[in-house]
Amino acid sequence: MGSPARAATLAPMSDPDPREIDDDGFAAVERSAWIDGRASAVELDMLAREEPLEIRVNQVAIAVVMRTPGDDEELVRGFLLSERIVAGVDDIASMRHCDNVETPEAEDNVMLVRLDPSVQVDLAALRRNMYASSSCGVCGKASIEAAMALPELAQLCDAPGPQLRVNVETLTSLPARLRAQQLVFDRTGGLHGAGLFDADGQPWVVREDVGRHNAVDKVFGWAARERVDFSRCVLMVSGRVSFEIVQKALALGIPIVAAVSAPTSLAVELAREAGISLVAFVRDRRLCVYAGEHRIVAAPTS
């Protein structure tokens, strides 16, 4: 947004209803702009929406995620898959927003999931009375051991046939391709982006959310519904790469994870253990490969 405009008089700030928001992922909020140590003007700012979404599976509340409303079914579907609560989309019999909530604030913020009767899940063990965030993980060693126990690991590392390989020039083009579809970020500057791309850099899907994990889960939820082959995809994220992002990619069998910013040490460790290619600092015709360099194809020499 541009520099705040000066005003002759400073109007009092109102206390807007935080629920006076549209369906495009942002809210209009007044702010007081200060310049050179003095209040200058009251302006209308566009902020990313953030609201809790409670996920109930077979009437049991298992998680609350702080998310940008929109694409909630994709988010929940991707969450259930990447957390290995279900093995595939066919395990989900139905999904809908709860229309019988206790308070107006909970409207559209509770998702009811019913699993297929054949699916056996220990819901009591899954129940989480917390917000899903990067601060709620267990210790690194235990996390990696748990992640490495996933059956997808053997499929990813020992899959028959040629593994996915992507040209480095294609990878360096992904940030711009991702950014071009971050429409809500253009208005707010406050959302993470994630996208699935094919080996030629063409996007399958791009999603935005106030939480980087949620953006990834929304992408996964859409792609799973459309039966996209995850083993032929690159996951691109707009920020850093945490352990949880790599863990989610592993759960879906995605062979390449790329990011605009830095990876964490635990993300690199898991990627190397799992055989995932991890590429970071992807920008301006350069990138850094932290794991799985065999999938990166060098540019032809002139």
- Residues that are catalytic: 136
Q: What whole-number distance in Å separates Cα of residue 88 and Cα of residue 151?
A: 13
d(C-alpha 146, C-alpha 152), whole Å: 12
Whether 284 has a binding-site annotation, put simply, is yes
d(CA 86, CA 89): 8
The rounded distance, in Å, linking the Cα atoms of 239 and 50 is: 18
Whether 281 has a binding-site annotation, put simply, is yes
Name the token pair of 184.
């809500």
Which DSSP category does 239 fall into? S
Cα gap 198→200, rounded to integer Å:
5
Residue 282 is assigned to a ligand binding site: yes
First to last CA, the chain: 42
Instruction: Label the pairing between strands 296-297 and 60-67.
Output: unpaired
User: Is residue 207 marked as binding?
Assistant: no
Q: Are 7 and 39 in contact (CB under 8 A)?
A: no
- Residue 182 CA to residue 127 CA, distance in Å, equals 33
Binding site, annotated residues: 281-286
